[in-house]
Amino acid sequence: MMGIDKVAGFGLFFVGFFAATRAEPVDRFMDPLGARICFANAGASPDSALAAGWAARTPTTPVACPPVPTGYGSLPSVTGPGDLSVPLALGTGAGVGTNNPNLCFQYESLPAAPVIRVVRGNTLTVGLTNTLLNTGTDNTENCTIDNYPLGPPVSGTCPPTEEQYKALPGPDGKFYPIQADIRHLADGTVNLHVHGFSVSARPCHDEVVRSTLYAANWAARIKPLLPCQSAPNELTYTYDIPADHPEGLYWYHAHRHGQAFSETMMGATGAIVIEGEADALRAAHGVTDDVMVVRDFPASYVTSTAPRMPFWDVVAQRYTHERGHTEPASPAVDPRIDRDNELSCKTTDPDAGGEEFTHVTLNGALVQETAQFPPPDSQVLVKTMTVGERQLWRLANSTAETYISPQLVLSVNGTSTVQPLVITAMDGVPVHDDNGNRRNLVVDTTKHPLLLATANRLEFLVHAPPAGGTLYLDSQQVIPGCTGDSMPERRLLRVVSTQAKDGSTVASAAPKNDEDILAKGVETQYVHMLDTAPDVRRVFAFTEYSHPFTVSKSIWIKGPPANPRANIADFYLTQTRASDGQGKPVSIRPFDPHSGADPDVIIHLRGQKSVTEDWIIQNYTLQLHNFHIHQMHFRDMTPADRIDGVAPLLDTVNVPAATRVPSSEAGVDVPGVPGFVRLRLQFTRKMVGTFVFHCHLLAHEDGGMMKRIQVLAD
Ligand SMILES: [Cu+2]
């Protein structure tokens, strides 16, 4: 039966958030015996000589992040024609709002994390140095997520109240910023993921489970360092970018399991542009680009007008309900899903979500929100273009937890019209038809709203408004489902035009759909993907169970938790069925990076060039999740996701929520038919290795909604 105590009411915010960061005893390599790893600095290191030398070293002062910009500005770039080497330091500073500690990837004295621009076919080397200082007792590990108290203090060696985590700087005078309302393992370790890159998953390349850069004052035990680490807080990543790698916008961010959410939300992100012939063609036509990075942070750090009441939006609703269950091929409900213990909603809870948890920044500057939409122009970030100018806008959703639904609105003489988006690339891949020929995709966002999940990128061509007119970049309201967070409309940017040198006040007519700057490149690696029959079919399930249920049944927590909490959820991703027999019963065991267990999916190439698989990802919950897999792009074959006939090639895709149906209990709604997407993936020899796939709402990922996949050449 569905107990009323499991209902998310006031607790919508907690359901989506606190629950997520709580689940996993993170770093079992430190303490293989279990969840509590709050120990003092004791014991021999696997590499004790190194650790001793390291402990004797006086850590340098953390790199200081540049001040937060007060207005919109283009991001600085690091670029070069061939192989590119980019030394980055992870530093800390003040974010927007009050007492909002930030992280940043700093390159020399640039005013923001650099846009790394590298031409495909070259090698990108990122030498990362972690300058954060850990302020835990004896500079060892702070408490695990599981011991962060939401209620009464937890006894033991861990700090008994969360007040201790708010102290800035730390009691030893050193500074490791801990975001007060984000509960996480705060030991200052970090690593790096290049999102969307089709490169090696081996350590020293794009590997995220084993790779660790410790805090600069780390004096406790360490794992043996990788060959590309000259010190525990340094790691040099090498990315060999294939000559046929899709050209477009990518991004880098912190991916340390248990801290990815916090560190990404605190700003440990940046953009990467992989350049190719399209850039040269645009440059020849005088078309520049502007990289726009959206980040998010907890709304509690800014004083804004009261959160706006969510309202129903028929268009955005499509993303949660209509899409999934009107699809005739909707997969059946897996009989092993525990329908009695799924997270539920009150019937009065809106599908628009609960409290507004995050606010956003654009290229580091705060996006103001006001009680009424739209806000007055004076409160909107402003950018200037020249009359007649065309630009490629490269928009990255680099948030940890926030959806963006971009829309362009042109206002001339008091009349506003939504402009079609002329899209050149999605998730870094130029748009192309099923035969591999490039095209631009013209999308009317009033009819087909685009929903950028955390990590999605969109590249589109923008014409400057005529003199006296204003162009706005908005984010439409997003309906995440009744256990999600509220995502209201946001006005991200307004554009005004300065007069052109020739005095003209209107743009000269551009060729239809900007096809004059459409490169003739062919996406060779994806041409035969759609007409290749899949070798294996798999089904995966996103599930959320109420915390008391999973705690009592889970095998990953020893005994009852010290601090049981009711209104929270646990997050899971399970392979439920597979035509090669790898399907398993639905898991109530969250991802454990150090379990040493077999990968959840094993792909055997058996000497073939590639293996093609079809995956159905089901969402049994009452909120949007999304699916991301490392090292590759996949085809989104879901019929409803096709735009103008194109099945998008993505690295991250939204999975709509389950339908919401009344339960036998009055006043309680439960998940009905799961939402789903149908994906085609092609595994090739360059993917041989072990990597991960997960929900890219990073609180869910940290909370366990992640799995490991291994590609074998055998
Ligand atoms: Cu999720």
The region, left, alpha or beta by phi > 0 then psi within -120 to 50, assigned to residue 97 is: left
705 alpha carbon – ligand 1 mean position (Å): 7
Please answer whether residues 394 and 273 qualify as being in contact, where contact means their C-beta atoms are separated by less than 8 angstroms.
yes
483 alpha carbon – ligand 1 mean position (Å): 11
409 alpha carbon – ligand 1 mean position (Å): 30
Q: Identify the bridge partners of residue 459 per DSSP, sorted by sequence position.
A: 394, 425
Span 647-698, pLDDT tens digits: 889 999 999 999 898 888 888 888 888 889 999 999 999 999 999 999 999 8
Give whole-number Cα distances, 308 to 385, 403, 458, in Å. Answer: 32, 17, 27
More confident residue, 481 or 703: 481
pLDDT higher than 90, residue 114: yes
99 alpha carbon – ligand 1 mean position (Å): 28
Mean pLDDT of the region 467-487: 91
Alpha-carbon span 249 to 458, nearest angstrom: 8
Least confident of 281-290, 558-567, 594-603, 641-650: 558-567
Please answer whether residues 538 and 583 qualify as being in contact, where contact means their C-beta atoms are separated by less than 8 angstroms.
yes
Work out the pLDDT band at 249, boundaries 50, 70, 90.
very high
User: What confidence score (pLDDT) does residue 194 get?
Assistant: 98
Q: Is 70 exposed, middle or buried (0-12, 13-18, 19+ CB in 10 A)?
A: exposed
Residue 140 burial (CB count, 10 A): 20
411 three-class SS: strand
Mean pLDDT of the region 356-385: 93
More confident residue, 112 or 547: 112
Mean pLDDT of the region 292-302: 87
700 alpha carbon – ligand 1 mean position (Å): 5
Mean per-residue pLDDT over the chain, rounded? 77
465 DSSP 8-state letter: P
Name the pTM for this structure: 0.85
User: What confidence score (pLDDT) does residue 308 get?
Assistant: 41
Alpha-carbon span 16 to 27, nearest angstrom: 23
More confident residue, 700 or 49: 700
Alpha-carbon span 408 to 345, nearest angstrom: 34
Q: Which CATH class is domain 4-12+526-712?
A: mainly beta
Work out the pLDDT band at 434, boundaries 50, 70, 90.
confident
For the chain, the structural domain boundaries read: 4-12+526-712, 47-241+253-267, 301-517
More confident residue, 199 or 525: 199
User: What confidence score (pLDDT) does residue 178 get?
Assistant: 34
Residue 389 burial (CB count, 10 A): 19
Most confident option among 46-50, 410-414, 476-480, 696-700: 410-414
627 alpha carbon – ligand 1 mean position (Å): 8
Give whole-number Cα distances, 406 to 247, 444, 634, in Å. Answer: 21, 11, 22
Same fold? 4-12+526-712, 47-241+253-267: yes
Alpha-carbon span 676 to 331, nearest angstrom: 8
396 alpha carbon – ligand 1 mean position (Å): 19
User: What confidence score (pLDDT) does residue 520 get?
Assistant: 80
5 alpha carbon – ligand 1 mean position (Å): 22
Q: How far apart are the first and last CA of the chain?
A: 48
498 alpha carbon – ligand 1 mean position (Å): 43
More confident residue, 8 or 67: 67
For tokens 């999308």, name the residue: 443
Work out the pLDDT band at 552, boundaries 50, 70, 90.
low
665 alpha carbon – ligand 1 mean position (Å): 26
Q: Is 442 exposed, middle or buried (0-12, 13-18, 19+ CB in 10 A)?
A: middle
697 alpha carbon – ligand 1 mean position (Å): 5
694 alpha carbon – ligand 1 mean position (Å): 8
**Any idea which fold 301-517 has?**
Immunoglobulin-like (2.60.40)
Work out the pLDDT band at 55, boundaries 50, 70, 90.
low
Which tokens go with 444?
């009317």
574 alpha carbon – ligand 1 mean position (Å): 13
- The reply to whether CATH 1.10.1040.10 applies to domain 47-241+253-267 is no
Residue 562 burial (CB count, 10 A): 17
Span 73-96, pLDDT tens digits: 999 999 998 999 999 999 988 888
